[in-house]
Amino acid sequence: MRKDIELYCKDATEIFLDQSSVNLFFMNPSYVGSALEEYGGSLDSHINNVQSIDDYLSLLIRVAKHVEHSLAPDGSAFIMLQNQHNIVPRFCSLIETHTGLTVGQLFVWDFSDTENLKHLKYEKMGLIVHLYKGSFYVDPTKREYVLRIPFDPQKIKKYNDIGFIGSSIPEELYENFILAFSKEGDTFADIFGGTGTGIVSSVKLNRKAIYNDIAESQYKIATSRISDLNADEQ
């Protein structure tokens, strides 16, 4: 295995990375409530069996405290809360109360042009919250930034022999954040890494990569994608 990639199969609430060692986090945790139903998931197969929005939010805050510890002083963390519009304001206020992180801009991943997702009831799905250390003022009129990137679940399906779980983010979306919020040689961490698209994108862009996912099935998919990358390079 290459030295610039670390892979873990752990609960994100129990992952301990070195202090200030990560320049960019991307988190796309499993969903809860209606967002989860929309993806066909069952409550007991996802995110520590949490049954309520309160438990879900407190779990995310526990993860955010680890993020705060390992985030570099000038680093950025993004958390994608998918179409969970109702929880974003509560999440942001908990972050500001319980962690030293600041909430910045809200990025909206708009894939409403994607034909095969027209059945989903929301047009703009991906709500991505920017978290960082310190404080700078974000002009409220510029708080929402829309990224229009199509989404093709079929593209990722081939990596997933146990079916389509949750969402898989296209490489292009990851690339946008990696290019804008890190530089070559920096460390990128995707701690709800799923199929591993985040670390694949980051390695292609010459970042060091840290992957984590609680599910062994997802960990195996990510590991095999990384091996494919290695093979391509040889």
Interface residue list for ligand SAM (CB under 6 A): 11-13, 28-30, 46-48, 165-169, 192, 194-195, 197, 212-215, 218
Nearest to ligand SAM by Cβ — which residue?
Answer: 194
In whole angstroms, how close is the CB of 204 to ligand SAM at the nearest point?
15
Residue 82 CA to residue 35 CA, distance in Å, equals 8
DSSP of 91-113: HHHHHHHHSSEEEEEEEEEE-TT
Query: Between 56 and 132, whose beta carbon lies closer to ligand SAM?
Result: 56
In whole angstroms, how close is the CB of 41 to ligand SAM at the nearest point?
9
Query: Between 21 and 160, whose beta carbon lies closer to ligand SAM?
Result: 160
CA-to-CA dists, residue 156 to 29, 54, 70, 152, angstroms: 18, 31, 30, 7
Place of tokens 């930034």: 145
In whole angstroms, how close is the CB of 11 to ligand SAM at the nearest point?
4
Contact 48, 72 (CB under 8 A): no
Query: Between 132 and 211, whose beta carbon lies closer to ligand SAM?
Result: 211
- Find, among 192, 198, 191, 187, the residue nearest to 156 by Cα: 198
Count of alpha carbons within 13 angstroms of residue 24, beta-carbon side: 23
Query: Between 95 and 200, whose beta carbon lies closer to ligand SAM?
Result: 200
In whole angstroms, how close is the CB of 170 to ligand SAM at the nearest point?
8
* Cβ neighbours of 49 (radius 10 Å): 9
Query: Between 35 and 92, whose beta carbon lies closer to ligand SAM?
Result: 35
Count of alpha carbons within 13 angstroms of residue 31, beta-carbon side: 26
In whole angstroms, how close is the CB of 51 to ligand SAM at the nearest point?
14
In whole angstroms, how close is the CB of 73 to ligand SAM at the nearest point?
25
Query: Between 65 and 102, whose beta carbon lies closer to ligand SAM?
Result: 65
Contacts of 105 (CB under 8 A, 6+ apart): 130, 138, 142, 143, 144, 145
